[in-house]
Amino acid sequence: MVIPNIKNNDGAVACALFSEPEGFPAKFMRFADKIVMTKIEGRQASCDFISIKPGTYALAVIHDENLNGELDTNFWGAPTEGYGFSSGAKVSMFKAPSFSAAQLTYDGEILNLEISLKY
């Protein structure tokens, strides 16, 4: 998976793969099946997941600029760091998308995805 046009090279990008709705996307450290943390180079990053069985999944991507392991938010709960989701799922009224809105079907073949972050 490629994450293009990142705001800056600060921090790292966390890519979290979920096979179930529980904890998606905010509690990725506890509920994600796999997490990949990667450095940002040239304002882009890539995450590769290995040994994934065919099935239905959802991805959450966070630009953790200050490396604190979470998506920071402001006083009103709006994210202050970049975020993105599979299947083009969008945030509405400061609420993260559901697992079903972000879900994708993986058939076991190489899957090339691009997830753009919102800031």
pLDDT of residue 91: 87
pLDDT digits (tens, 9 = 90+) for 20-38: 999 999 888 899 999 999 9
The DSSP line for the chain is -EE---S-SSSEEEEEEESSSTTTTTTHHHH-SEEEEEE-BTTBEE----SPPSEEEEEEEEEETT-SSS--B-TTS-BSS-EEEGGG---BTTBPPPHHHHEEEE-SS----B---B-
Residue 56 confidence (pLDDT) above 80:
yes
pLDDT digits (tens, 9 = 90+) for 90-107: 988 778 899 999 999 999
pLDDT of residue 85: 97
Are 86 and 113 spatial neighbours (Cβ–Cβ below 8 Å)?
yes
